[in-house]
Each structure stands twice: as C-alpha cells, then as structure tokens.
Amino acid sequence: MSKQLVVKPEKCVSCRTCELVCSFEHTQQFNPKLSSVTVINYEEALVSVPVMCMQCEEACCLKVCPVGAITRDEQGAVVMHPDKCIVCKMCMSACPLGNISFSPITRKMFKCDLCGGDPNCVKFCPSGAIQYVDPTENPDRKKAVAASFKEVFGEEV
Amino acid sequence: MKVKFFATYREITKCKEAYIPTQPDVWSLLHYLSGVYGPEMKAKLFTADGNDIGQDAILLINGRNIAHLGGKNAPILDTDTISLFPMVAGG
Amino acid sequence: MTSWIGTILRVDLAAGTIKKEPLNMKDAHDYVGARGLGTKYFCDEVDPKVEPLSPENKLIFMTGPLTGTAASSAGRYEVVAKAPLTGTIGAANSGGHFGPELKFAGYDGIIFENASETPVYLYINDDKVEIRDASELWGKTVYETTDLLNESCGESFKVACIGPTGENGCLFSGVMNDKHRAAGRGGMGAVMGSKKLKAVAVRGTGSVSVARPNKFKEAFVDARAKLKADPIGGAGMAAFGTEVLVNIINESGALPFRNWRDGAYFDEADKTGGEALADQYLVKNKGCFGCSICCGRVTRVPDGPFKSVGEGPEYEAGWSYGADCGISDLAAICKANFLCNEYGMDPITLGATIACAMELYEAGALPQEDVGFPLRFGDPHAIVDLTLAVGKNEGFGKTLALGSYRMAEKYGRPELSMSVKKQEMPAYDGRAIQGMALEYATSNRGGCHVRGYLTSPEILGVPLKTDPMVTEGKPALLKTFQDLTALIDSLGICLFTTFGLGLPEIAAQYREAIGSDESDEEILLKGERCWNLEKHFNIAAGVEKDTLPPRLLREKLPSGPAAGKVAELYDMLGEYYSVRGWDQDGVPTDDKNAELGIKYESKILCDI
C-alpha cells in the first residue's frame, strides 16, 4: 500500500521550513511561491495548517489534462511532466483543493510529486506536523485511545 | 536533605521537591534517585556506560554548580539543597 | 550566484523619492550583512553627533546573506539607527517572517533618510515600491495596523510597523513585525516615528539562491541534524521556551529582585517560570521562518482580570515584570507583555523602569500624586495599568516613557536606575555572574545581556563550564562571545543556533551560500570588525565610559551562593581592553585598526 502525506495541524508551528525545502529540492532556489506545500495560518484559532496535494485516487487534474502530461508513478504520486505540459492551466481549474500552481520562473505548472518517495517536507519538519505513512493504518491515534481505556479500566482491579 | 526538581524532571518525579536521606556525595545521590524514580531518571542522570554524569543533568548544591565543587565526588551535607535541571537555555 | 539579492532601497521620506541601489559588495564581504553591514552603511553616512530623533538620523533595515534560505533558523534581520535611549549605535535584531519576505521581493535592505511631513508607509510588492499615505493608520496599535495593511494590500503581505508609542517618541519603543516579533531595544520605534514612517508592508514572489547549492544543502542538513540532536536546540526550547531560565537563574542566586535592591533570589519565582507557563497558559509553541528550534510561545490567559491572548513572555520580559517588580502573578506578567507587543515597546526596559519607579516610590522620592496611586513592589495591577498608560501616553506613562535613567534623574536618584549607558540591564545579577557584569559594562548598545551571553558557560555550562564567581578568564571569553554573536547577528540567523552549533557549522553555511573559501577564523574576524566599528562610533558620539551602577559595584548580595559579592568589574575591565587590542581608555589602537582594516574619523570611514 503506497504511503501518503498526513498532516497533523495541532503540531504545526508555522515555521514554513516545508515551503523552503520543497522549493529548493525542485528548483534549487528558496521561494515559497515555488513550493508545492503552503502553510495557512488561522490567527484567531491559533492554528496553522500545511496544505499540499492529497494525491487523489480519482485525480481530476490527471483526467482533464488534454495532452497526458499528468500520470501516476510507482509511489502512487500524481506527477507532472513539464516536457509535455502546454500550460493550458485546465488542471489548475480542475483541482478542487487549489494544489496545482504555475511557476513564473519555469513557466510550467507544478505540483507535489512526493519527492520520488522521500518527501523533503517530512524530513525537515521540526515538529512532525507532516508525516509520510500508510493511510490504512492510523496507529498513533488508535494506540492513544487504547491507552486511555487502559488507564481507566486498569485502575479497577 | 532537600532535592528540588525542575522542567522535565518534574514530569518524571511528579513533584517539585523531595526530602530524602542525606547522601554522602553527588554520585551516591544520583544512584539513590535512580533507585527511587526508575530507569527514566537513570537514563538522564548517567551517561550510557554509567561511568559519568549524563549530559542532561545540571546539578546545583545551594546554587553552586557541582562542576566547581568537585563534580560527581562533591560532598553533600544534611543542610544542603540540591537543584536538578535538564540542559536548559534561553537568552 | 550568491544568496545576496544585490539591491537595496534608498528612501528619502522628505523628498518622497525611492532609489534602487546596487548593494555595496565590498562592505557586504567585510561586514557580512544585517547588523555588521547596516552599521557600516550607517557609520559611512551619518554624523555620530546626530540627534537620534532628528531627521538627520537614518533608519536602516538590513537582512543577512543567510536570511531567506534553509540555513539553520535563517529568518532574521536587523534595524540600525542611532539609539534614542542610549545615544549609542543601536541595532535591534528580529525574527518572524518579515526579513525573508524583503529578500523574496528583491531587496537586501532599506535605508530611510530624512522625515516625512505626514504619516506614510512604504509599500513593496516585488518591483513595485511606493510611499503611501498612512494617515488612517496613525495612532493605531501594532495589531490594528498589521490587520489593516493585510486588508488593503493583501493577506500575503508581511508587515513591520510601530505602535502609538513610536509615534509619541517613547525612548524604548520598538519596531514590531509579524505582530509579535520585535526589533525591541534602544528605541528604534521612536526613530521610525520621528520620520512619520508608520510601517513597511512587503510581498515578494522572487527567490533567494545560493552559490553552491549541493554543498549548501550538505551544510544545512548537517546543521539541522546537530540542532535536533541537541537537548536544548532540539526538544528543550520547544517545550519550555526561554522562561525555563527563571528557576535555574533563581536557584543560582542571580535573579535580580525588586530593582536589584533586595538581592537576587525570589522565593515565588517558580510561579513565573517556564514550567508554570507551560502548565497554565501555553497553547502551543511557534517557530520563526525556517526555524527548527521553535521556542516561541503562543499563550492564552483564559479568564480573570488579566484575561488575554498573545505571544511570549520571554525570559527577560518575564523577569522585568516578574521578580524585578516583585510580582508572582504570571497572568499579569503575560498581559503586560502582550500590551508591550500591541503598543510596540520593549518589555525589558519598561518592566525595569516600573521596578525603578517602585523603588523610588518606596524610598519617598516619587510622590504618589505623580503616579496616581500607591506604587508598591508586588502589585500585579500596577504593572498592567502602568504599561497601558505608557502605551496610551497618559498620566505617569509619559514619565515612564523616558526609561528608568531619565525618570530616576528627574526624581533626584539616578543611581537607582539599574542601567548602563541608560539602557536597563536584564535578568542576570552581575554580582553573582561576573562575566555578565563585564558584558553589561562593555556592550556597545548599553545594558544588554544577549550580545555577550556568558550566562551560557557560567550557569548553563554550554559550551564549556566556567565558574560564575570568578573573574579569571572572563575577558577573553567575553570577547569570543561578543565577536561570534556579532557574526551571527550579521548573518541573519538566530543566536539560539549556538545551542547546538559552533563556528564550523555556522561558517560552512555562510561559505556555501555566498561562494567563499575563507577559513572559520577569517569569518569570525568579521564579527570582531563589526564590534570595533560600533565602538568607534560610540567613542565619536561621546558615549559615556564603561561602568556599572553603584549598586552592583558596592552593595553586596545579602544571601545565596554569591552572598557578600559585588561585581568585580575593575578586575576584568583592563584585561578586557588589552584582549581586545584597545588602550586602557577603551580606544582601539592603530595596530588593531590596521588588522581589521578600519579607520574611522567621524563620518569619514576609510579602509586602509
């Protein structure tokens, strides 16, 4: 089962390191506007959320591309092929989550490609707010719930 | 003798301070505390090989760092107050 | 390629003109950036005798070569001007996200000259730069100003601005960015206000590159891994923030209590420390741009008379409003700190000024009718009410806005201001930590702890353990810390990276970013060069000699591990000057000037 990026907003400290390393990995430049992940801040709620492509099972961008410039790779990532891309921007409209962007530097579309299976945002996030896990297992949360039961019932001996 | 716990040590001991039987020196104190508070405490107080004080243990006797009082052999008196901190910083 | 953009903005606020100028690359090379480079530009262009609040003072925002990259904690920038509080060269350092955004917009720095007649702000949207009317913003708080600019310019703009205190000339008002981050000390906000410059709003869509991308990546990967592995830079600071220091400094008998009058131990200090903050009011931690340490505090006091939300407090602000005022009510301390952010003022100076007022009152030197109520140590409402009074420029707030020295002088007791060169010393008693006594006396911007943070070796034992009670070895150690800090401030990275990294890791990131082959020592020399240039400016500006308040030199600590001690400054000062290559009056010698390539003749700076 291919892994998926999972976001834990409660851990996000809004440092935007993910934006920096994503743009650098793909363009050798530091530029949040060239990053496929963006941190959105909700100031009053005191929450921030890193947002990136969710590699949809039924990817609208893939389906709508008229020249087949978007395909799925072995990691299950939906990836862009800039050499085929004609920059019609239909994928940008098709994505319901706003996760496809246009780069004014390369003048092509870009999106998260999971870094070929070793996502940089995950590697460099200092707080573990972005993780790369098998989405069919949610061990952390299930274990945490089980531990609460253990504490409650364990006392009645 | 009195031992005061700070920062992450409070999470291990679940208290801010304790009165314990007076130990002759710092090295004995560390062993005593490991005995009372268990392996998590021991891991912080000692290096992995158990031969020296761990990096994550700052110890003061009456406000003086043990480094200037004889290190792990620093003697302790009845009336002393020991303060135990992890590596902390600020600025 | 290099991590410099290569362009600065020169804005004449009187003429209303904006010029894009090539960055002086020789100076960038010699002075590194941010603090060093901003100071070099300043010293080249401004008369050291200038009145800080006159139009002839300049205000410089300068980023560093690492700002905006993924180097360790590389989000910082410096604000440089002649400081109104001290009359020294002033440089205030800040984190957050503003500095990197300036580089993404295409500028390494901004030099503001002269003064506008009406309130304005600088609008920067990549290559579109305009001076815009700020009459709707004038009088607004930092939070209001930032929100209004985000509404009118756009959500993605980063804002640096002053609060009403900067407009009113409060001598310790700061420049706030991203609402809660501060270029805090010395009164940079008052300089900005004297120019009728309310804010800078910037948005950038460009990039920061590096000279050697593969090697740069190796360097930052290595640096980040080392920081993560370090107990302080890794988990410690994120968990407890800087307030974790309260207890260790207190236990070490070095927490100045009640305006340093009543010794250096506070039996209720634990109620105000990082543990209490994490237990009661911490919502989560927060990180500045690209930082892995993430020591920021997002804090909420949910109810009670001090109900509030904001960021902080940090250790020194927690001390100035806490032990220094004899306060154990953490909610009040938080609220007072948030008010400082909201109104744009330095909580270290303000808390210490209130503490000074408390002592003046209790000594009978400050009449109750001036304050408006009985002002006693330990009164939590006093610190909040008086902070608000300064924020609103009302009542006794107008006097407090002068800082402790000018206030104490007004009431005939200047010796009760716990300050050096009129800037209040923070939170470490120099009688119990001898190296800090020397740092306070010699720091180029007055009573400052951070630029020669010997608390680290003397109390925390990082990177080596030294005895706080002795004076031996402190002069040489202080020089190293001061020079290294000047280098770090000039690079645009955070000083807290030194909890985990040393000169090699820091220098490596710099080398690969700009494409240099200089050695670690050659790079460290640039920090020394910055320090010496600041000293030259101060001498030419006629700044008072290095000394300490009489209380530190003569009043022995009553109790604790340092009982009976005073600050043995004069056992260290002469040796410090020698180690620095200065004469016994503290003036850099010709040999030292030649070594560093500095010849300063009061606004005329020639390189040998």
Is-contact C565 C431, C-beta < 8 A?
yes
Q: Which of A33, A104, A127 sits opposite C294 (nearest CB)?
A: A127
pLDDT of residue C603: 53
pLDDT one-digit tens code per residue, C30-67: 999 999 999 999 999 999 999 999 999 999 999 999 99
Q: Which of B64, B83, B88 sits opposite C245 (nearest CB)?
A: B88
Residues 6+ apart with CB under 8 A from C323: C246, C250, C255, C256, C257, C258, C266, C269, C272, C427
pLDDT one-digit tens code per residue, C343-371: 999 999 999 999 999 999 999 999 999 99
Please name the residue of chain A whose CA is at the shortest distance from the CA of residue C209.
A29
pLDDT of residue C606: 40
Average pLDDT over residues C103-114: 98
With 80 as the cut, is the pLDDT of residue B29 above it?
A: yes
Cα–Cα distance measured from residue C269 to residue C266, given in angstroms and rounded to the nearest whole number: 5
Q: What is the mean pLDDT of chain C?
A: 96
Average pLDDT over residues C164-183: 98
Among residues 250-289 of chain C, which lie with CB inside 8 Å of chain B?
251-253, 270, 274-275
Average pLDDT over residues B66-85: 95
Cα distances (angstroms) measured from residue A97 to each of A51, A73, C338, C527: 9, 21, 36, 47
With residue B64 as reference, give the H or E element that holds it. strand B64-65
pLDDT of residue A121: 98
pLDDT-derived band at C233, boundaries 50, 70, 90: confident
Is-contact C582 C538, C-beta < 8 A?
no
pLDDT of residue A138: 65
Cα–Cα distance measured from residue A62 to residue A73, given in angstroms and rounded to the nearest whole number: 12
> How many CB atoms neighbour CB C338 within 10 A?
24
Estimate to the nearest angstrom the gap between the alpha carbon of C438 and the chain centroid: 18
Q: What are phi and psi of C9, to 5 degrees?
A: -100, 135
Alpha helices in B38-84 (DSSP H): 39-45
What is the third-level CATH fold of C434-606?
1.10.599
Q: Which residues of A touch C205 (CB under 8 A)?
A: 31, 33, 104
pLDDT-derived band at C198, boundaries 50, 70, 90: very high
Cα–Cα distance measured from residue C556 to residue C565, given in angstroms and rounded to the nearest whole number: 5
Q: For testing the chain B interface, which of C76, C244, C319, C466 should be mutated: the one with the most B CBs within 10 Å?
A: C244
Complex confidence, ipTM:
0.94
Please name the residue of chain C whose CA is at the shortest distance from the CA of residue A20.
C70
| CATH code of A14's domain | 3.30.70.20
With 50 as the cut, is the pLDDT of residue C568 above it?
A: yes
Q: Which two tokens stand for residue A7?
A: 């976001």
Percentage of chain C beyond pLDDT 70 is 99
With 50 as the cut, is the pLDDT of residue B37 above it?
A: yes
pLDDT of residue C602: 61
Is-contact C351 C319, C-beta < 8 A?
yes
Q: Between 3.30.930.10, 3.30.750.24, 3.30.110.70, 3.60.9.10, what CATH number should domain C7-203 receive?
A: 3.60.9.10
Q: Which two tokens stand for residue C314?
A: 């940090």
Strands C282-286 and C59-63: unpaired
Does C209 contact A33 at a Cβ distance shorter than 8 Å? no
For A11, the domain range is: 4-154
With 90 as the cut, is the pLDDT of residue C420 above it?
A: yes
The hierarchical CATH code for the domain C242-424 is 1.10.569.10
Cα–Cα distance measured from residue B35 to residue C429, given in angstroms and rounded to the nearest whole number: 37
> Higher confidence at residue C601 or residue B22?
B22
Is-contact A13 A124, C-beta < 8 A?
no
* Domain ranges for chain C: 7-203, 242-424, 434-606
Chain B neighbors (3+ CB pairs < 8 Å): C
Cα–Cα distance measured from residue A64 to residue B77, given in angstroms and rounded to the nearest whole number: 79
Cα–Cα distance measured from residue C4 to residue A84, given in angstroms and rounded to the nearest whole number: 34
Q: Which residues of C touch A14 (CB under 8 A)?
A: 286-287
pLDDT-derived band at A2, boundaries 50, 70, 90: confident
pLDDT of residue A153: 81
Which amino acid, one-letter code, is at C263?
A: G
Which amino acid, one-letter code, is at C197?
A: L
Cα–Cα distance measured from residue B12 to residue A85, given in angstroms and rounded to the nearest whole number: 57
Produce one character per residue of C518-533: b if its CB has 16 or more CB atoms within 10 Å, e if not: eebeebbbbbbbbbbb
Does C291 contact A105 at a Cβ distance shorter than 8 Å? no
How far B36 CA sits from the closest chain C CA (Å)? 23
The count of structural domains within chain A is 1
pLDDT one-digit tens code per residue, C146-157: 999 999 999 999
Q: Which of C244, C314, C561 sits opposite B88 (nearest CB)?
A: C244
Does B58 contact C461 at a Cβ distance shorter than 8 Å? yes
pLDDT of residue C607: 40
Cα distances (angstroms) measured from residue C107 to each of A143, B45, C9, C126: 50, 50, 7, 9
With 50 as the cut, is the pLDDT of residue C444 above it?
A: yes
Does C70 contact A124 at a Cβ distance shorter than 8 Å? yes
Please name the residue of chain C whose CA is at the shortest distance from the CA of residue B58.
C460
Q: Which residue has the tokens 């007004």?
A: C410
Beta strands in C244-375 (DSSP E): 282-286, 296-301, 308-311
pLDDT of residue A139: 63
pLDDT one-digit tens code per residue, A18-32: 999 999 999 999 999
With 60 as the cut, is the pLDDT of residue A66 above it?
A: yes
pLDDT one-digit tens code per residue, C285-341: 999 999 999 999 999 999 999 999 999 999 999 999 999 999 999 999 999 999 999
Q: Which residues of C touch A15 (CB under 8 A)?
A: 286-292, 294
pLDDT of residue C231: 85
Cα–Cα distance measured from residue C564 to residue C556, given in angstroms and rounded to the nearest whole number: 5
pLDDT one-digit tens code per residue, C248-291: 999 999 999 999 999 999 999 999 999 999 999 999 999 999 99
pLDDT one-digit tens code per residue, C488-538: 999 999 999 999 999 999 999 999 999 999 999 999 999 999 999 999 999
* Domain ranges for chain B: 2-85
How far A95 CA sits from the closest chain C CA (Å)? 22
pLDDT one-digit tens code per residue, A73-86: 988 899 999 999 99
Size of interface B-C (CB pairs under 8 A): 95
DSSP line for C224-270: HHHHHHSIIIIIIHHHH-GGGHHHHHHHTT----TTTTT-S--TTGG
With 90 as the cut, is the pLDDT of residue A141 above it?
A: no
pLDDT of residue A154: 76
With residue B30 as reference, give the H or E element that holds it. helix B26-37
A53 touches chain C (CB under 8 A): no
How far A57 CA sits from the closest chain C CA (Å)? 31
> Higher confidence at residue C210 or residue C238?
C210
Cα–Cα distance measured from residue C468 to residue C254, given in angstroms and rounded to the nearest whole number: 10
Average pLDDT over residues C437-447: 98
Q: For testing the chain A interface, which of C76, C142, C289 should be mutated: the one with the most A CBs within 10 Å?
A: C289
Cα distances (angstroms) measured from residue B24 to each of B30, B61, B75, B76: 11, 13, 6, 5
pLDDT of residue A149: 84
pLDDT of residue A155: 58
Produce one character per residue of C578-601: b if its CB has 16 or more CB atoms within 10 Å, e if not: ebbbbeeebebeeebbebbebebe
Is-contact C193 C164, C-beta < 8 A?
no
Q: Which residues of C touch A20 (CB under 8 A)?
A: 69-70, 290
Asked: is B2-85 a CATH 3.10.20.30 domain? The reply is yes
Indicate the SS3 state at residue C336: helix
Percentage of chain A beyond pLDDT 90 is 73
Q: Which residues of B touch C (CB under 8 A)?
A: 4, 6-8, 10, 16, 55-56, 58, 60, 62-65, 67-68, 83, 85-91
With 70 as the cut, is the pLDDT of residue C608 above it?
A: no
pLDDT of residue B89: 80
Chain C neighbors (3+ CB pairs < 8 Å): A, B
